[in-house]
Amino acid sequence: MPAYHSNFNQYEAMEVCGCGVYPIKTAIRGPATVMTEATPDIIDETIEYFRANVLFRNFEVKGPADRLLIYLTLFVQQCIKRVERTEKRADAQKALHTLACENFALPGDAGFPLTGTIVAPASREEQDQLRAFWKQMREETSLRMLDRLFDGETRNKWWMSFSKRKFMDRQLGS
C-alpha cells in the first residue's frame, strides 16, 4: 500500500527550497496567505494522513506539497513526543507553543533530517523566507494538534500511542 500524498501537488504555488507555500486557515501572521474556504488545508491533510503515513519507512515525493507534508508529519511526530508525559492540557499548550517557537534546523544545517529531500536555501533571503514560513506552519500545526492530543482536559491515549513511531526512520530535533 502506498503512502498518502498531498492533494496540493496539483496546484501551482510559490516554492521555497522546493516546498510549496500554500494558503492555510490561520490567524498567525506569516508568508502563507489566509485560506477563506472551509476546505481542508495542508495542515489538515497532514494531521489526517499522519496515522497512516507514519507507518511508512519510504515516501516517494511527487511534488512540492509532498515535501511540506513530510516536514509537517515529522513536526506532528515531534509534537506528540513533546507532550507524551504531560498530563494537563495547559502544560501541553505551553510545551507545544515553546516547541513551535524554538530554533529549528533548516536544510543545509548540520543535523537536518531531510537532506536530499528538501534543498538548501540558495540565499540568505530564501533562508529567512523558509524560516518564517515554517515557523508559521509550526505554530498553526501545534495549535491544531493540541485539540487532537487532548479531549478537553484528558489526554488522548490513542494519539499518544504514536509517540514511539518514526516516520521514514527520521525525526526533527530532539
For 95, the 3-state DSSP assignment is helix
User: Mean pLDDT over all residues of the chain?
Assistant: 91
- pLDDT for residue 169: 78
Q: Residue 2 has what pLDDT?
A: 57
Longest dimension (CA), the chain: 45
Q: What share of the chain in percent tops pLDDT 70?
A: 98
| Backbone phi and psi for residue 115, each to the nearest 5 degrees, phi listed first | -60, 130
Mean pLDDT, residues 24-52:
92
Supply the pLDDT for residue 139. 97
- Over residues 95-109, the mean pLDDT reads 94
Q: Per-residue pLDDT averaged across 97-123, rounded?
A: 92
Sign of CA dihedral 143, 144, 146, 147: positive
Report whether pLDDT(1) > 50: no
Give the DSSP per-residue string, 25-72. Answer: S-SS-SSSPBP-SSS--HHHHHHHHHHHHTT-S-----SHHHHHHHHH
User: Do 99 and 86 touch, CB atoms closer than 8 A?
Assistant: no
Contact residues for 129 (Cβ-Cβ < 8 A; gap 6+): 16, 31, 121
> CA quadruple 42, 48, 54, 58: dihedral positive or negative?
negative
Q: Report which residue type is found at 94.
A: K
Who has greater pLDDT, 161 or 3? 161
Going by pLDDT thresholds of 50, 70 and 90, the confidence category of residue 127 is very high
Report all structural domains of the chain as residue ranges with CATH numbers, in order of start.
7-169 (1.10.1760.10)
- Global pTM value: 0.93
